[in-house]
Chain A
Amino acid sequence: MISDLDAQTTEKALMLTLDGEKVSFEAGETIYEVAERHRREIPTLCYDERLEAFGACRLCIVEVEGIRNPVASCTTQATEGMVIQTKTEAIEKHRKTLLELVASENRDVDVNQLSGYASQELKILVDRYDARSGRFSGKKSGTSNTKDKNPFILRDYDNCISCYRCVRVCAEREGDYAINVMNRGFDTQIITEFNNDLRDSECTFCGQCVQTCPTGALGDKKALRDSDTEGEIEKTRTICPYCGVGCSVDMLSKGDKIVGIQPAMDGPANEGALCIKGQFAFDFIQNADRLKKPMIRREDGELHECDWDEALNFAAAGFAKVRDKFGRHSVYGIASGRAPHEAAYTMQKYIRATYGTNYIDNCSRA
């Protein structure tokens, strides 16, 4: 009996009080994580759930009974019996002041959505807290890097708020440690070593810094080419077409035009990561070189565009002729390792069902 009781006690869920509500939590969870699970919508700017909590923006502060100052909920572990208030008048006032301060150091709060996945975070919070008051005016922080002419990553540090998400994602997620912070205090500036161009650094242009930037200070230059293109941005979830890792991406389009790629933060293979190819090498799709009509080789020995019926009949007749002349083992199929299943499946079915052979392969031997 006693041991049963003991077991019950040790298994008893850990509990704390969140805005007056008793809630359970797991050992090791931070206050922020517990509060998020209970839909508290605590504001943050330096938080990215994939990164170690950093505690820079202080927007996620909450009051904890028995502790004099508010604590940053992202870096504070929940403990048994904690009594937490997430949204008191004092806390909300501090948040508004913090947002007014942040707004005061930047050139723009409103940036184009094409800048990156998280680019609207500051704008959304500034609006939620009605923090466009223009208070606390003064010197702006950060200096845009206009000398780096790389075609992918905009480095508009006039809009940087020194949350270090870019630095941290580069180190903790990408493992490249290409960027860091120079100087200190209000003069902090995100840089590569010796403040060089990204091309001359360890940067691999994976774009993770762009996608985690909450202000658009780092922006997707390729996507931003279409800032003025007509139409709403549509997002379509798909999978990267390059290597075998199978990263989940959201394809961004405006009307019939593909304008950019964003990584899927919940993609099982990549968890928000991409590489230069997946992130930036997408526009081949709508390149002018694309084949637009079927072509057949005519008597002049050249390929000429034609309509589908003619081409399909020509192709089918050609196969039939070879089969009839040389037998069913004279036709071979090579499927693609780049096209979807449906292509490979129909290819092998075509060979097997038409010729009764296993004369089918794919490009994996190259």
Chain B
Amino acid sequence: MSNPLADMEKPDVIFAIGTNMTECHPVAATRLKRALTAGATMIVADPRQTRLAKMAHLHLPIRVGSDVALLLAMAHVIQREGLIDASFIEERTAGGNEFLQHVKEFTPEWASDICEVPAADIEKAGLLYGKGNPSAIYYTLGITEHICGVDNVQSLCNLALMTGNLGVEGGGINPMRGQNNIQGAGDCGAVPNNFPGFQPCDHPESTEKFSKLYQTEIDGTKGITKVTALDNCGKGIHAMLIDGENTVVTDPDKNHCEHALKSLDHLVVIDIFMTETAQLADVVFPATAWGETDGVQTNTERRVQRLRAAVPPVGEAKPDWWIVSEIAKRMGVPGFEYESARDVFNELCELSPIYAGLDWDRIEDSEYQWPVPDRDHPGTPRLHEKEFKNGRGKFTVVGYRDPAEVISDEFPLWLTTGRRLEAYHSRTQTGRSAGIEYLLSHESLEVHPDDAEALGLVHGGMAKMASARGEIEIEVKVTDMSPQGTVFTSFSFAEVPVNILTGSGYDPVTQTAELKVCPVRVEPA
């Protein structure tokens, strides 16, 4: 997030797109609710009539995967109505003229055909966002899990840049991170393109720095992504070390994934449960769980916070860092002589400019949001206040593209997936917590009443749902939560392995899977 969570109570206009926040980030959503009580106006773009959408002043139930068209047309309206922040564009951005020229052709009428919402509503959304002072954008995986995920994000940046809504209190562009430490995994360099602290792998000085620190020669190029690695299993990739991820269930195209992992010569999995992924491993290590582990995690607003162990580990479980270090030591790799999580974290701080002002003791009270470049720095609740990291904020000229697969006679419905309030991911945790089943005992497919009638589906009955990749059976829930022509389910239940169906394509830049769009056929089972 460019702005702190506390800023969520301060926008004049809220633009929430591709985020089912009341279910996925409920506590953050409480702040938006308070902003609404205080008089803020909210636009929600989401195919489904989520709780957030019901609270909105303007709900745009756009067709899945049509975000770029909507955002271009909103930019068109803002440009046409002179709602741009000319001095911000002049002083702090690059590529503005080209972008403003570019958007002239993308009218709300044009977008209306693609997004399947009235042009007048798109017009209204543009005016609201453009006039808001400040306007804030919130998004989640509904934006990124598309083949055009990067285009979507850049389109949002364009909106914020053209209206000067960056670096201001109550504004910004705010992705809500889905996992407790997904931000931290990136901070720590567990990505193929960056060393710890977002030091790029393809910059010679960082490569040199880390090669020296890690006492080996590291490639001066980015690594491949997980998606490519999985594609290459058995054909170049022959061993994997997977820490705490149930890849088989949460990744798209389950069959492909399972096949990939099976074709490895050596798979080592560290986890707290015998997940579907661990079952394929050659070695499974029991990790300590939350509540048994001292450590650090970074939240979605870049706040660096301490995890503390409250109870001893179950059985012989060990912290992940200890397990990884032991493997390294046994392979004769130097530099893994850690005695505690503190040692590991302090090393990270030393190597990482954004953590340079931190250490284990200084984060005791959760008060810092990175970057914290030095010991005297108070932390950075709000990014881009005075300048952008790379000098100027860059506009990107983007165009609309159809999803990787579009509906057809064979697969006439859009399937989109997401989460539910009571379940988390593959339910390895919530599924093992007493009482949750009282509220959510099984998964179902949300089908619009008109679709249900046309397809002969009944509420509570079973349906077969098929995509180009596979077929599953699922119970039908007839509801107008989803618009006609779109069905929805979550990926949380192993009994309903919806990711057998997904996986139509990947964003070419980030290789994030298009989990949010999958043409399907649904019929009574």
Q: Are B311 and A269 in contact (CB under 8 A)?
A: no
Does residue B466 face the partner (Cβ distance < 8 Å to A)?
Answer: no
Please indicate which of the listed interface residues A253, A294, A326 has the most CB atoms of chain B within 10 Å of its own CB. Answer: A294
Task: Decide: B438 and A150 in contact? CB cutoff 8 A.
Answer: yes
Q: Decide: A363 and B308 in contact? CB cutoff 8 A.
A: no
Q: Interface with B: A39-47, A137-145, A342-350, which one?
A: A342-350
A290 to B429, CA, bound (A): 10
Among listed A26-34, A79-87, A211-219, A238-246, interface-contacting one: A238-246
SS class of chain A's interface: helix, strand, loop or mixed?
mixed
Q: Which residues of A contact B139 (CB under 8 A)?
A: none
Q: How far is the CA of A360 from the CA of B228 in the complex (A)?
A: 11
Q: Is A118 an interface residue (CB 8 A)?
A: no
Of residues 243 to 300 in A, which have CB atoms within 8 Å of B's CB atoms? Answer: 243-248, 251, 253, 256-258, 267-270, 273-278, 280-287, 289-297
Closest approach, in angstroms, between the C-beta of A326 and any C-beta of chain B? 5
Mark interface residues in A201-240 (1 if CB within 8 Å of B CB, else 0).
0001110000000000000011000000000001011111
CA distance A295 to B274 in the complex (A): 10
Contact among A152, A295, A363 with B250 in the assembled complex (CB-CB below 8 Å): A363
Given the interface pairs A199-B439, A237-B308, the reply to whether A316 lies near B429 with Cβ below 8 Å is no
Which of A68-76, A104-112, A307-315 sits within the interface? Answer: A307-315
Q: Shortest Cβ distance from B372 into chain A, in angstroms?
A: 14
Asked whether, in the complex, the Cβ of B315 is within 8 Å of the Cβ of A236, the reply is no
Complex Cα distance, B278 from A297, in Å, reads 11
A245-B25, A246-B180, A282-B433 as given contacts; A290 in contact with B295, CB under 8 Å = no
Question: How near does chain A come to B141, taking the closest CB pair, in angstroms?
Answer: 9
Establish whether residues A284 and B428, one from each chain, have CB atoms under 8 Å apart when the complex forms. yes
Determine whether B513 belongs to the interface, using a CB cutoff of 8 Å to chain A.
yes
> How far does the alpha carbon of A256 sit from the alpha carbon of B312 in the complex, in Å?
6
Check if B186 sits within 8 Å of A340, measured CB to CB.
no
A361/B225 contact (C-beta < 8 A), A277-B430, A325-B238 known: yes
Q: How many A residues have CB within 8 A of the partner chain?
A: 113
Cβ A348 vs Cβ B286 within 8 A: no
Query: Which A residues lie within 8 Å of B391 (CB)?
Result: none
Looking at A242, A296, A366, which has the most chain B CB atoms within 10 Å of its CB?
A366
A315 to B241, CA, bound (A): 9
Chain A residues in 8 Å Cβ range of B327: 312, 315-316, 319, 350
B347 is an interface residue with CB less than 8 A from chain A: yes
For A287, list chain B residues within 8 Å (CB): 273, 432
Q: Please give me the residue from chain B that is nearest to A255 by CB atom.
A: B311
Q: Which of A244, A291, A359 contacts B300 (CB 8 A)?
A: A244
The docked-state distance in angstroms from the alpha carbon of A247 to that of B241 is: 30
Query: Which B310-336 residues sit within 8 Å CB-CB of chain A?
Result: 310-312, 314-321, 323-328, 330-331, 333-336
Contacts of B347 in A (CB 8 A): 345
B87: CB under 8 A from chain A?
Answer: no
Q: Taking the nearest CB of chain A, how far is it from the CB of B118, in angstroms?
A: 28
In the complex, the number of residue pairs spanning A and B with C-beta atoms less than 8 Å apart equals 486
The answer to whether A365 and B309 touch across the interface, beta carbons within 8 angstroms, is: no
Contact with B along A38-79 (1 / 0, CB 8 A): 000000000000000000000000000000000000000000
Instruction: Say whether A320 contacts B284, CB under 8 Å.
Output: no
Contacts A269-B27, A344-B190, A363-B245 known; A289 to B273 CB distance under 8 Å?
yes
How far, in angstroms, from A238 to B180 measured CA to CA in the complex?
12
Contact A356 B216 (CB under 8 A): yes
The answer to whether A353 touches B335 (Cβ under 8 A) is yes
Q: Distance (Å) between the CB of A176 and the closest chain B CB?
A: 8
Residue of B nearest to A317 (CB): B330
Docked Cα-Cα span, A312 to B317, in Å, equals: 13
User: Across the interface, do B217 and A356 meet the contact criterion of CB distance under 8 Å?
Assistant: yes
Kindly state whether residue B397 has any CB partner on chain A within 8 Å. no
Closest B residue to A289 using CB positions: B273
Given contacts A308-B316, A359-B223, A366-B513, contact A322 B239 (CB under 8 A): yes
B331 to chain A: which residues have CB within 8 Å? 316, 319-320, 354
Contact of A204 among B26, B218, B243, B512 (CB under 8 A): B26
Identify B344's interface contact among A174, A222, A345, A366, CB under 8 A.
A345
Contact B5–A245 (Cβ < 8 Å) = yes
Q: Tell me, yes or no, whether A334 is within 8 Å of chain B by CB.
A: yes
CB–CB A242/B285 < 8 A? no
Task: Say yes or no: is A335 at the interface (Cβ < 8 Å to chain B).
Answer: yes
Tell me, rounded to whole Å, the shortest Cβ–Cβ distance linking B36 to chain A.
8
Q: How far is the CB of A257 from chain B (nearest CB, A)?
A: 7
Q: Specify which of A315, A330, A364 is in contact with B182 (CB 8 Å cutoff).
A: A364
Q: Which of B181, B211, B285, B336 sits near A341, CB closer than 8 Å?
A: B181
Bound-state Cα–Cα, A283 to B314, Å: 12
Do B296 and A341 touch (CB < 8 A)?
yes
Q: Is A132 an interface residue (CB 8 A)?
A: no
Q: Does B226 belong to the interface (CB within 8 Å)?
A: yes
Measured CA separation A330–B233 after assembly (Å): 9
In the complex the two chains form, what is the Cα distance from A149 to B274 in whole Å? 32
Q: Which of A290, A303, A320, A337 lies in contact with B281, CB distance below 8 A?
A: A303
Write the nearest CB–CB distance from A270 to chain B, whole angstroms.
5
Asked if residues A350 and B219 are in contact (CB atoms below 8 Å), the reply is: no
Given contacts A173-B30, A267-B366, contact A341 B184 (CB under 8 A): yes
A277-B424 contact in complex given A341-B345, A344-B181, A353-B215, C-beta closer than 8 Å: yes
In whole angstroms, what is the CA distance A361 to B240 when docked? 11
CB atoms of A340 and B184 under 8 A apart: yes
On whether A334 and B271 interact (CB within 8 A), knowing A236-B309, A241-B180, the answer reads: no
Complexed CA–CA distance, A283 and B432 (Å): 7
Check A365–B225 contact: CB distance below 8 A.
Answer: yes
| A163 on the B face (CB < 8 A) | no
- Does B299 contact A350, Cβ atoms closer than 8 Å? no
Alpha-carbon distance A169/B321, docked complex (angstroms):
40
- Assess whether B295 is in contact with A319, with CB atoms less than 8 Å apart: no
What CA separation (Å) do A246 and B302 show in the bound complex? 10
Q: Chain B nearest CB: distance from A197 CB in Å?
A: 10
- Nearest-CB distance from A253 to chain B (Å)? 5
Asked if A343 contacts B289 (CB within 8 A), the reply is no
Residue in contact with B180 in the complex, picked from A242, A270, A289, A347, CB distance below 8 Å = A242
Q: Which of B179, B221, B433 is in CB contact (< 8 Å) with A358?
A: B221
Closest 7 CB pairs of A and B: A292-B315, A246-B299, A340-B295, A175-B33, A244-B177, A336-B244, A358-B223
B residues in contact (CB < 8 Å) with A = 5-6, 22, 24-30, 33-34, 36-37, 176-193, 195-196, 201, 210-211, 214-219, 221-227, 229, 236-245, 247, 250-252, 265-266, 268, 270-274, 278-279, 281-287, 289-293, 295-301, 303, 305-312, 314-321, 323-328, 330-331, 333-336, 338, 341, 344-345, 347-348, 366-367, 421-422, 424, 428-436, 438-439, 510-513, 515
With A285-B292, A339-B181, A361-B190 known, 4 other A-B pairs at CB within 8 A are: A269-B303, A312-B326, A346-B328, A352-B218
Task: Return 19 A-B CB contacts under 8 Å, by A number.
Answer: A151-B434, A172-B34, A204-B22, A236-B291, A238-B290, A275-B421, A277-B422, A277-B424, A290-B314, A319-B239, A330-B237, A331-B239, A333-B242, A333-B243, A337-B179, A341-B344, A344-B188, A354-B328, A359-B192
